[in-house]
Amino acid sequence: MQKLRTAIVGASGYSGEELVALLARHPQVEIVAVTSRQSAGQTVAEVFPRMAGSVIAGIKFVEPSLDALKQSGATTVFLALPHGLAAEFAAPLRKAGIQVVDLSADFRLKSADVFAEFYGEKHPAPGLLAESVYALPEICGSDALKGAGLLACPGCYPTSILVPLVPLLRAKLIEPDPIVINSLSGVSGAGRKADVALLFAECNESLRAYGAPKHRHLSEIEQELSSAAGEKVTVSFTPHLVPVTRGMVSTIVVKPTKGTDAKAVEAAWHGAYKDRTFIRVVPHLPDSKHVTNSNFIDMAVREDARTGRLLLFSAIDNLGKGAAAQAVQAFNISQGWDETTGLV
């Protein structure tokens, strides 16, 4: 069977490296190009020693260019690039009829004005916003992804937050206000870059909040929660950096509507996600070590009788379900394949 030809732009970053590893063993995919400015001319095995002996070990990184991508014959291009830069590739690729799976924030928001508010710059390709699909499979549904040409893969924080909350808001089991969220992320979530704040000596033995009170991911969190609730939802969200390489845990405090208890929440989760392989409702409080290097999200709920609140917990791998693995999951569905292909 002929394999689908794919390319990865920005393949030397943490999410890009995960994509390379996942797609290299994907039974339906052939990687025909990987790009990176700093790694151009080197082989995949030289840049990623763990890929030595793989089918793509000898492929050389090339400079990122539209000509190189088109000449590769790729029919799907994964973009593991910073926001703003991804759109520079996405627009001409879509014009050429090439499917784009974008891991940046460029096409997650439906409003160019909201993008400008949270990212501090004019949207680089507003004409594509209407075409993009917010590619969180468990939330948007498989029908929205099938045949989609532009998949806007969600951020890691939003994934860990939206999956627990959206079914509850849709079912009116919780009040849309107040919702208070605290999330903890491993250092790889900041990307592979030279930054003093991310040096080992700065992060080791240290826990700190950042991006408060208006982290960029708030924009897509509130967009999707508002859609689920059928009204504007505003949340309090504080992200934290923790000294682990990968992993993410979110704790969400919500006010239940009358009659909602932990059993009702679990029933809603099971009902909404009964056909979703990567959702796990667990009896224990989710622990990031149980989901690292996977596309799973573990969720749990507890009742706080003293305050009358419900506590929702989730754990994901920020590079897996929060980035590369989820992108492959959405890509699988868009191609009409089983969502687990290449992921389990």
Q: Are 123 and 115 in contact (CB under 8 A)?
A: yes
Rounded Cα gap, residues 46 and 129, in angstroms: 37
Rounded Cα gap, residues 101 and 326, in angstroms: 11
Amino acid code (one letter) for 169: L
Q: Quick one: CA dihedral 133, 135, 139, 143, positive or negative?
A: positive
Rounded Cα gap, residues 322 and 184, in angstroms: 13
- Name the strands in the sheet holding 4-9, side by side, starting at the edge strand that comes first in the sequence: 29-35, 4-9, 76-79, 99-102, 150-152, 133-134
Catalytic site residue 140? no
Annotated catalytic residue: which of 140, 153, 156, 203? 156
Amino acid code (one letter) for 117: E
**Could you give phi then psi for residue 287, rounded to 5 degrees?**
-125, 130
Residues belonging to the active site: 156
